[in-house]
A and B are shown apart, each in its own frame.
Chain A
């Protein structure tokens, strides 16, 4: 986007023998000039748009790590290479970063010198009028019986009305220039783009997000340890997170029950919460819904997901309770077929794991496997398989939503077929082999809440608004120069009927010329306006 260089000759049969050898510094300069040239910027822009596309085609880790894992499992031959080349994290990959960093270096390298030039231009007076204005893109000539000074005064008045900066280098000419805001707008636009990047960087470094799944009736106190997942920026001190306490009283969810295409579509999600801004502070009732986050100490709390937490109790053979918890099951489809895991490390002689589905409106036959017909809890059911063995092989960290069955064996019935639990609320299942019982007590909803702080967002927002303003100025305003020259109409003035004579007043020939760097449909109108005003004055006098 830098300087507008004239096209260079394409072919050169032989290298020019008189070309000087470039020193190391010379090469650096050459490279810099290449990088900051408009053609390079253009190429990088196109490259950036091409490079962004794979991120919309391949699943991305930052959006959905689960889909990435599925994709890798389904494409074992290509995916290791795709992974190595960063196709599952395009926007943080070295090649994508390289393109936009080069683009921004190019941008800054071009903005800085251009700003200097522009500041000088803002102070400069419009240049001297060229000798032959008829050579300019737009030009006109008029003969008037005004004196030379009067004619220039008329032109000055017209051009001033059109916001031209005016200067007379001599008594027979007038130079005018307008549209300085075009370049100002251009520079603001490009500077503001860097501002957006700075805002993003600040957000990355100082921002943090914590996600938590909260069942109805549950409460959590915000601190680094209490979130299910927390991703702080590298310079965030996790000891200083806002210490609010949030309880979920109720989650209202409505789905479309009218038959038709919109059947089962969500209509409304609202979480009714009790919020204490810090422990011990008075509690207030707040509601969070999609598009309406609540703000605490600069952090915003968003409602991003919801689902079901079946309350399940596992007892041993003697009836002792080993496990009783509202366990979140994560929805997998629009009808909330949800998967979840129950880990009972205290079971003996071996640890127990239950894994399977929660179905809010179970399709009773399971003919195509466990399925839900509607997202609301109209006919809730859990379907679980039972595993026995070591829940935590190697004591490696693992997700609460997956069961590692490497060192586990599926529990079977007496006939050797796998034991499958299917329970409705209130029902109990007896695990074969006297291993105890599993009870499905009730269902509660959970809210998937996300707490986020992005201190860079205001920087990006202000920059984006400035960029738009700059863009509008830079594209719509035209840089124009208009020159006016006057000369006495002599008998030698070819092709001009001299109006002098009758009343003996001296006649003046006024030439007007206009010049614009851009294709500019409005320039002709300005030249015409000066011409018409002079012609008009002529008629009146």
Chain B
């Protein structure tokens, strides 16, 4: 067995573990759900508490983490245990995935993101790492399904549609800028992805807050829509900064490789489009009077552009440009 096939074995193993993690996360959400049925009372109690605090009760100010679960929601021991099992599995799956990326890198002696398959696996690993690092601290067990699911999807597509044998790079990619520009790009995409997942959850949560459903489910156990919105904003902000850097690093590299830093090649166009859409999101978020729901919709459109940039622009010949490194076809 050589390194490249070990890398693939680790990739399959991580998919198995992630699948288990996803089941465990679902199982965890199931344990959260019935709790809520009794917590309607708790929600009302929370309102009362707010009133009390508002009246200027002495004592320490409220220091609840803005990312914590919904106020008034007491997580059961069962739910907590299941959440922790799922997290452990996620850590293991992520470790295997990172190992797979590293082995692939060693096998080809270069940064392991030189074609679409490698970019997809490295990107999935970045999402896994980002989630693993942030999940425990922020009690994001509820988010697991929405993060591990997409990771699995990307891994599956990488292995079936995008798979490329370990091999040498095209001359244009042989540059240290590959390590810088592309890695920052997929780390940015990792943050965009988690922010997107939270954004979707936010919209559903907000809808259910405005029109409370007859039968509450796990959604009602999540942090308030305002807290979700803030979290998504923070993640999008980090991703936006990284994306700005990606854009600039790409321009510097383009100058070296193609002689001009900006030529409106389709990949450049879409990187720019993504940047402007997210810039619009940051703007609308900072504009008083634009409601956060509308801003979030802009961010979601931005993520659709991220997906288009990675799929259509790489694979469809309409978008033929100079970034022809997919390795597919």
Contact = CB atoms under 8 A, between A and B. Distances in A.
Contacts, number: 170
Interface stretch (A266-274, A353-361, A415-423): A266-274
Interface in A2-58: 4-8, 38-39, 41-42, 45-46, 48-49, 52-53, 55-57
Interface stretch (A116-124, A154-162, A363-371, A518-526): A518-526
B289 A293 contact: no
A24 to B, nearest CB: 29
Given A49-B277, A475-B241, A521 B56 contact: no
A528 B259 contact: no
A455 B269 CA distance: 23
Given A52-B276, A528-B60, A465 B230 contact: no
B30 to A, nearest CB: 30
A401 interface: no
Interface stretch (B35-43, B152-160, B167-175): B167-175
Interface stretch (B77-85, B207-215, B217-225, B280-288): B280-288
B248 A290 contact: no
Interface string B285-322: 01111100000001000000100000001000011110
B287 A265 contact: no
Given A290-B174, A471-B241, A304 B258 contact: yes
Contacts of B290: 39, 42
Interface residues of B, number: 66
A464 B248 contact: yes
A318 interface: no
B229 to A, nearest CB: 8
Contact of B259 (A1, A42, A90, A450): A450
A518 B285 CA distance: 10
B259 A457 contact: no
A209 B61 contact: no
A84 interface: no
Contact of B171 (A1, A63, A269, A531): A269
A304 B279 CA distance: 34
B258 A302 contact: yes
A241 interface: no
Contacts of B327: 261-262
Contacts of A6: 288-289
Contacts of A90: 264
B257 A53 contact: no
A290 B172 contact: yes
A467 interface: yes
A42 B284 contact: yes
Contacts of B313: 56
Contacts of B277: 46, 49
B264 A53 contact: no
B262 A200 contact: yes
Interface centre among A38, A56, A60, A467 (most CB of B within 10 A): A56
Contact of A53 (B63, B167, B230, B273): B273
A6 B288 CA distance: 6
A5 B259 contact: no
Contact of B264 (A55, A468, A525): A55
B76 interface: no
B230 A268 contact: no
A91 B264 contact: yes
A48 B33 CA distance: 44
B63 A524 contact: yes
Contact of A468 (B60, B245, B269, B279): B245
B265 interface: yes
B272 A52 contact: yes
A298 to B, nearest CB: 14
B251 interface: yes
B140 interface: no
Contacts of B165: 260-262
B168 A256 contact: yes
A56 B258 contact: no
B248 A465 contact: yes
Nearest to A270: B171
A49 B171 CA distance: 31
Contacts of A143: 58
A6 B174 CA distance: 52
Given A262-B165, A519-B233, 13 more contacts: A6-B288, A46-B276, A56-B264, A56-B270, A139-B61, A258-B167, A265-B170, A269-B171, A291-B256, A292-B256, A450-B259, A475-B282, A524-B61
27 contacts: A45-B279, A45-B280, A45-B283, A46-B277, A56-B264, A56-B266, A56-B269, A90-B264, A140-B61, A141-B56, A143-B58, A209-B260, A261-B165, A262-B164, A262-B167, A267-B170, A268-B171, A289-B171, A457-B261, A464-B251, A471-B241, A475-B240, A521-B66, A521-B230, A528-B61, A531-B60, A531-B61
